[in-house]
Structures are given as C-alpha cells and as structure tokens.
Structure 1
Amino acid sequence: MRSFSAEIQKFYRKQRGWSQQRLADRAGLSLSMLAAIERGERRPGCDLLTRLADALQVSLDSLCPEAGKQVTHPQEGVN
C-alpha cells in the first residue's frame, strides 16, 4: 500500500492558495473528510488518493513519496 503524506497534500493545497473547502469541492469530498485526512485521523484509499492527486494536478507518487521505494528483505539461512 502506498504511504500517503497528509503534510505533503496540505503543502500542495496551500501552495495553490486553496482553502480546504476548495480542495474538497474539486476532489468531490466533504470538508469534514478532508479536514480529518489533513489531521491524520483518516487515511485515504486508492480512489480518494487519485481524486486528490487529480484535483491538485500532481502525480500519485507526489502524495505518496514512499511508493517508489522497494522493500528488500535479507535472505536468512540461504547457503
């Protein structure tokens, strides 16, 4: 699952000079939902992440900076 960053989403919103209400309207969600996301009380699912990225005109990877990193696991007991 992607690691969403509410702080990055909030940064993009403020960079555009948008209120929470404006972003909520553009993304098609309620103001209370967006506020909860920005406070870290709710984590957006894939559909909502896509809508936020589209509304902000940024890539999903921009909102989820950990998405591009691959996790590697050491192989234990391999000879």
Structure 2
Amino acid sequence: MAIGKDGKTVVASLGDFLREQRLASRLSLRQLAEQVGVSNPYLSQIERGLRRPSAEVLQQIAKALRISAEQLYVRAGIVSPVAHGDQSVELAVLADAGLTERQKQSLLDVYASFLALNAGEPRDPS
C-alpha cells in the first residue's frame, strides 16, 4: 500500500479527504451513500481507509460531491500526479465505459511500467 508524504496510506488520506468534502457539502454518510449507489458500511469503510474504491465508485462520489473525479483518482493512487505533463492517457482509460475495472487497472499498470522503463533509458531519436 502506498504511503503519502504525511506518512498516511493513500487510502486513508483519500478517506479523510472524502469525509471533509462530504461534511463541507452538508451530507450525511447515508445521503452520500444513497447518491453514489453504495451501502453505508462500504462508504464508511472507504472514509476510514479500510477499502479502496474502484474508479467507477470514485467517479460517482465526485459527481455527488461536485468535485473533480481526476482529483480523486490522484488521491486514490489510480492516476499519478505526473511530472511528464498531460494525464490524458490515464483519464481516457478511466473514462472508457467499454472496459471493465480490471481491464482499466491492467492498462494503467502497463502504461505506468512503460513510463518507468522509458524514464531509465535514453530515448532513441529515430
């Protein structure tokens, strides 16, 4: 499990952020769970850092809280805050309704491995 700058796990940090956003939106756990289409216990586990939600659940949470889904993807560790510029590849994969969650994660893993591999090698100019 990834550890953030503050020593918290990425999932716990995401949960704290979601709780803050939910409270700022003046929504109860029950109200948000209903809007997102998940159970109260599941949403509570996400907020407490015990569960890592899928990209689809994060997208529904973002919609209900009126915040950026991309911001949640980064906080959840699904998309990395990249220094190489545009995150359009990651976001396009996450937005593709024709792929399952497992397929999306597999594609993101392969993409990340290519980026890591290329970062360690000089580029061929041809």
Aligned length: 75
Match of 2:40 in 1: 31
Q: TM-score, normalising length from structure 2?
A: 0.51
Name which structure has the greater RCO, CA cutoff 8 Å, separation 6+. 1
Q: Deviations over 1:31-53 (max 9, x none)?
A: 01000101111100011111111
Match of 1:75 in 2: 120
Q: Structure 2: how far apart are the matches of 1:62 and 1:15?
A: 16
Q: CA deviation at 1:23?
A: 0.5
Give the aligned CA root-mean-square deviation in angstroms: 2.3
Q: CA deviation at 1:64?
A: 3.6
Structure 1 unmatched ranges of 5 or more: none
Indicate the structure with greater helix content: 2
Match of 1:12 in 2: 21
Q: TM-score, normalising length from structure 1?
A: 0.76
Query: SS of 1:41's equivalent?
Result: coil
Q: Which runs of 4+ in 1 moved over 4 A?
A: 71-74
Q: Percent of aligned positions with the same letter in both sequences?
A: 28
Q: Structure 2: how far apart are the matches of 1:64 and 1:9?
A: 12
